[in-house]
Amino acid sequence: MMRRVAPGAAVLVCLILSGCTSLLPHAQTTIASATASASTATATATATAIVVSTAATGTRASAASSIPVAALHRPLRLPTIRSGQPCPVTFARHQPDPTLGIVQGIGPAGPVGLDAAGILQYDGPTSTGFADKSWGGAKVLWAVDSAVSGPVLVRGRQLNGPHELRFNDPAVTEMLLAANKDALPGGWRDYPGYTRLQGPGCYAYQVDTQAGSSLIVFRAEGPKVGPALSTSPNPSASREPAPAAVVQTPGTFQLTGAQAAEVEHLMNFVSAYNAGDTQGALAQFSRTEPVGFSDCDYTTQQLVDGHGRVKLTAWLGRNIANHDRLVVADIVDASPEQPLGALGVTFSSRRSDAITHASHPNGITPTIGAKVKFDRLGLITEFGSGPYGGAPDGCLVR
């Protein structure tokens, strides 16, 4: 039975060895879309990969960093604020680096962009041009003291209501700030990104480092975008393991830990790619297995492919310089056998400078999906979005 789940609520080449052709999604079993990010929370215990989303820039996390990152997944310890109670905003602020703005909180990591009253003003998804239209949001720069030796994990939710807190575009549940980004002249590191919301209220970020956890509470002001995704009044309740007996109801689906890791790394790649973050995109690729890609070059309207990290980096750099953007429509399980899996991806839209110059200012709907393969940690080994071994017609922009 085929079950499809829309990818809008997401947490998102082909190293062509031989015989890799474009994927026909209808011939596969759909396991998830970007909404599988929500399932990742319960699958993390069984997955060995880094099951977190990366910040918009500067991430260079690798499979080797999965051990410290796993240690950051402490339970969310966020208070519940009853109706009528004041929001306990974190008013403490400082400017530890003259090249940064004012950082909320006094810890080694915090957001830049809240006002003096601890308020984050956010906009609806239409006015800001987000690809993920189910969440509003605002630009939030994160600052991390370079004295922090490991990565930083940021999560959160509403304290006086049921709404979740998400990050970047597509909206994902967690944000990882990698440790080895170069520091600014003042000694801190900066990570541009987005905080995504669906309704106003009192919220908190939980910031986890190897040294411990800290909370930064703020008030969000903006439009109500959609219904809350959770009705649990206890923030930690959603982190409890599912009961042993799971009742299947129409519209539900299940993922193994390996599948959840694959979906998470795929959506992390798409998010970093769309944000113009070459290092963040590279961080989703295997460090232990050969890597590669195939793709359509819409400038020449020809197939391009390559093997190895050097060519992969060059391909990503060219596409990012070309302002290439991908909007995921659907994800299918192209290889049900695990742990070495493969996902098929179809795209509802692709935009770039080259496509615009080919008289398509609103982008195109690609006729070719991508086939993505993974290593045993759920990191990408192959990303194929070009007609490798097939007719090049799919690369033509008509």
Q: Contact 204/218 with Cβ under 8 angstroms?
A: yes
Which range scores top for mean pLDDT: 30-34, 50-54, 378-382? Answer: 378-382
- The structure tokens listed for 105 are 């909180």
Is the CATH number of domain 76-235 2.60.40.2550? yes
Q: What is the mean pLDDT of the chain?
A: 75
Q: To the nearest 10°, the Cα dihedral for 107, 111, 116, 121?
A: -150
Q: How many CB atoms lie within 10 A of CB 175?
A: 27
**Between 36 and 262, the higher pLDDT residue:** 262
Confidence of residue 18 (pLDDT cuts 50, 70, 90): very low
Q: Contact 38/51 with Cβ under 8 angstroms?
A: no
Work out the average pLDDT over 14-20.
Answer: 32
**Between 26 and 370, the higher pLDDT residue:** 370
Q: How far is CA 395 from the centre of its chain?
A: 27
Is the CATH number of domain 7-49+251-395 3.10.450.50? yes
Confidence of residue 359 (pLDDT cuts 50, 70, 90): confident
Work out the average pLDDT over 295-301.
Answer: 88
**Between 26 and 114, the higher pLDDT residue:** 114
- Flag whether pLDDT at 208 surpasses 80: yes
pLDDT, tens digit, for every residue of 235-248?
Answer: 433 333 333 344 44
Q: At 266, is the secondary structure helix, strand, or coil?
A: helix
- Flag whether pLDDT at 303 surpasses 60: yes
Q: Which sequence spans correspond to the domains of the chain?
A: 7-49+251-395, 76-235
**Between 116 and 24, the higher pLDDT residue:** 116
**Between 94 and 58, the higher pLDDT residue:** 94
pLDDT of residue 110: 95
How many percent of the chain have pLDDT more than 70? 71
pLDDT of residue 189: 92
**Beta strand pairing status for 93-94 and 103-104?**
antiparallel
pLDDT of residue 112: 93
Q: Contact 389/358 with Cβ under 8 angstroms?
A: no
pLDDT, tens digit, for every residue of 84-110?
Answer: 788 999 988 888 888 888 999 988 999
pLDDT of residue 167: 95
Strands in 281-362 per DSSP E: 292-297, 302-307, 325-333, 342-351
pLDDT of residue 392: 61
Which range scores top for mean pLDDT: 86-90, 154-158, 181-185? Answer: 154-158
Work out the average pLDDT over 284-291.
Answer: 91
Strands in the chain per DSSP E: 29-32, 93-94, 103-104, 109-112, 119-121, 136-145, 152-158, 166-167, 175-177, 188-197, 201-209, 212-221, 292-297, 302-307, 325-333, 342-351, 370-374, 380-384
